[in-house]
Amino acid sequence: MWKFVIPVAAFVALAVLFAVGLNPHRDIHALPSPLIGKAAPKFDLTDVMDPSRRVDTAALKGQVYVLNVWGTWCVACREEHDELLAIAQQHVVPLIGLDYMDQRDKARQWLTQLGNPYQSVGFDTDGRTAIDWGVYGAPETFLVDGQGRVIFKFISPMTAEVWQNEFVPRIAAARRSGA
């Protein structure tokens, strides 16, 4: 009898796993981040455009800011680039770039040709800073409050709708709370 129960149980378990994983109502952007509500990881990197300039969390202390993780190798990062340029023109918060696992020359060329939406761009050549932030891949965008806590993480290319519906209200709330 056990030789029939075990295969049937395994089949049922797999069916449940597939049903949950293939649920069309599941939000693919809702990968939980253990950083939400916690201090943003500190970093101190060179700037992509000017290696003599530092990009670090100390300079951002007390500010609400957005950290966008990207790379020239990332097709989806190219998709979101025009939207990031539009967001930067709004001057809502500083937009900080984190160039992830890339080559400095390619990143400079990208920003020169396509436009630079970032206040500064940290060069994370080995990916250690991105790992500290819990990055799965690019693009990923984080919102950090004035107390240096991560308050939101978005995975996928930024869109005007996501910016208006997810980021702008959280930015306003962070400013109201004095955070």
Which strands form 120-124's sheet, in the order they lie side by side?
120-124, 95-100, 65-70, 140-144, 150-155
pLDDT tens digits, the chain, 179 residues: what are they? 667 667 666 666 666 666 665 555 554 445 567 789 899 999 999 999 999 999 999 999 999 999 999 999 999 999 999 999 999 999 999 999 999 999 999 999 999 999 999 999 999 999 999 999 999 889 999 999 999 999 999 999 999 999 999 999 999 999 988 65
Q: Give the C-alpha separation, 31 to 14, whole Å.
A: 22
Omega of the bond prior to 24 within 30 degrees of 0, cis?
no
Closest CA to 171 of 92, 60, 86, 91: 92
Q: Tell me the domains of the chain and their CATH numbers.
A: 28-176 (3.40.30.10)
pTM above 0.85, yes or no: no
